[in-house]
Amino acid sequence: MLALNPPHSQRLPVWLSVPVWLAVFLSPTTYVLLLMIMDRLQVPAPAEGFVVLLFRLIPVVALLACGTLVWRSMISLGWRVGGLVLTVLMMLFQCGVWFVIIVNAISPAQ
């Protein structure tokens, strides 16, 4: 029973969790932008399967990491739930931004 309720909870202070949350949250978009920069500089691309794997894995890991950071922060339960909802909504918005970036990158220049 003691293992389920540790005496020292691992709560993060808000001043630490917000910058870390933001950095982790923006990592998928950073990955997409780095791929675009590599393409413009004509750097040889990594294997296609590896790029696709990272394209699928990075957002999931970022979502889990952001959710964990929100849940472990020193705020009330209502703020935690609100933070989780905000994280999911912002991740959906980020996917929309990726869609626009990718469509603009593959559409022919006019």
Q: First CA to last CA across the chain, in angstroms?
A: 66
By percentage, how much of the chain surpasses pLDDT 90?
0
Residue 38: CB atoms within 10 A of its CB come to 14
Q: Which helix (H) or strand (E) holds 41?
A: none
Name the residue among 82, 39, 101, 46 with its Cα closest to residue 93. 101
pLDDT of res. 68 = 85
DSSP reduced 3-state for 90: helix
The size of the chain, in residues, is 110
Residue 1's pLDDT band, with cuts at 50, 70 and 90, is: very low
pLDDT value at residue 70:
83
- Taking Cα atoms as reference points, which of 22, 34, 35, 24 lies closest to residue 58? 24
Phi, psi of 109 (to 5 degrees): -70, 140
In 10 A of CB 24, how many CB atoms? 18
Say yes or no to pLDDT of 84 above 60.
Answer: yes
pTM of the complete model beyond 0.85? no
Average pLDDT over residues 5-14: 60
Distance CA 44, CA 41 (A): 9
Largest interatomic CA distance in the chain: 66
